[in-house]
C-alpha cells in the first residue's frame, strides 16, 4: 500500500466513525497535503468553512497560515495539514478531553504514515496532547523540542494571533525559524 492509499484508508475510517460526529450528516475533515511531507501542521478542530468543504484551514486562519508558508518558500501542497479533532465541535467550542482521547489515534496513524521530520503544533490544544509535560504554549512557543525521537515546534494558533498584534508578530517570528530548524534536524540525522 502506498502512503497515499494508507492516508485514504484513514480518511475512510474517519468518515465512517459515527461516534466522532456531532450530528448525523456532518462532514469529516481528515486533513490533507503531501503524503511525503517533511513538515506537518496540526491544528485544533475544523470550523464552519472546514465543515462545509471537508478541508482543513480554509478560512481566515488558513489564509494566514498559507501566507506564512509562502514567506518561508513553501506552498500548502508541500506540507500536510491536519487537526486533532476531525469534526467541527458544536458552536465551535473547544474539544473536550475525551473527544481528543477518542480521536487522537486517527492523527497518530496519519503521523505514522507520513513520518514528518517536524511536527508544528498550531495552538495549545494540539500541543498539550503531545507535550503537556514541557510547559504552556506561552512558555515554549518557537522552541524546537525533541521527544521520543520526534521533533516538535509549538506555535501560537493563527486564528488567535490573527487579530492580536503582539501574538501575530511572535507567530510570524517563530515561523521564520522553521528553515533553520529543518537544517538542524537534517544535520542531526546525519550524525
Interacting residue ranges for ligand URA, rule: CB under 6 A: 43-47, 50, 56-57, 61, 83, 159
- Residue 45 beta carbon to ligand URA: minimum distance, rounded to whole angstroms: 6
- Residue 89 beta carbon to ligand URA: minimum distance, rounded to whole angstroms: 11
CA distances from 167 to 68, 85, 101, 128 (A): 14, 24, 28, 19
Residue among 147, 167, 166 at smallest CA distance from 155: 167
- Residue 100 beta carbon to ligand URA: minimum distance, rounded to whole angstroms: 12
Give the residue with the Cβ less far from ligand URA, 51 or 181. 51
CA distances from 126 to 5, 20, 35, 86, 119 (A): 25, 17, 20, 12, 10
Give the residue with the Cβ less far from ligand URA, 45 or 161. 45
Give the residue with the Cβ less far from ligand URA, 44 or 99. 44
- Residue 155 beta carbon to ligand URA: minimum distance, rounded to whole angstroms: 12
Give the residue with the Cβ less far from ligand URA, 162 or 185. 162
How far apart (Å, rounded) are the C-alpha atoms in residues 144 and 154?
A: 8
Give the residue with the Cβ less far from ligand URA, 57 or 130. 57
- Residue 60 beta carbon to ligand URA: minimum distance, rounded to whole angstroms: 9
Which residue number places its CB atom closest to ligand URA?
A: 43
What residues are paired with 122 via a beta bridge? 155
* 142 CB burial (10 A radius; 0-12, 13-18, 19+): middle
Which triple of cell numbers denotes residue 120?
508544528
Amino acid at each position: 500500500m502506498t502512503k497515499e492509499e494508507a492516508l485514504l484508508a484513514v480518511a475512510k475510517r474517519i468518515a465512517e466513525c459515527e461516534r466522532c460526529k456531532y450530528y448525523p450528516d456532518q462532514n469529516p475533515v481528515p486533513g490533507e497535503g503531501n503524503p511525503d511531507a517533511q513538515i506537518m501542521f496540526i491544528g485544533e478542530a475544523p470550523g464552519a468553512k472546514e465543515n462545509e468543504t471537508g478541508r482543513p484551514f480554509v478560512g481566515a486562519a488558513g489564509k494566514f497560515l498559507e501566507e506564512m508558508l509562502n514567506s518561508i518558500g513553501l506552498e500548502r501542497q508541500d506540507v500536510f495539514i491536519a487537526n486533532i479533532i476531525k469534526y467541527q465541535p458544536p458552536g465551535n467550542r473547544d474539544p473536550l478531553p475525551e473527544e481528543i482521547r477518542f480521536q487522537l489515534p486517527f492523527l497518530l496513524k496519519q503521523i505514522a504514515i507520513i513520518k514528518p521530520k517536524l511536527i508544528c503544533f498550531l495552538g495549545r490544544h494540539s500541543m498539550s496532547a503531545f507535550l503537556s509535560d514541557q510547559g504552556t504554549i506561552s512558555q515554549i512557543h518557537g522552541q524546537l523540542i525533541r521527544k521520543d525521537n520526534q521533533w516538535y515546534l509549538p506555535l501560537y494558533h493563527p486564528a488567535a494571533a490573527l487579530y492580536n498584534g503582539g501574538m501575530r508578530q511572535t507567530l510570524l517570528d517563530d515561523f521564520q525559524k522553521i528553515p533553520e530548524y529543518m537544517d538542524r534536524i537534517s544535520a542531526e540525522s546525519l550524525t
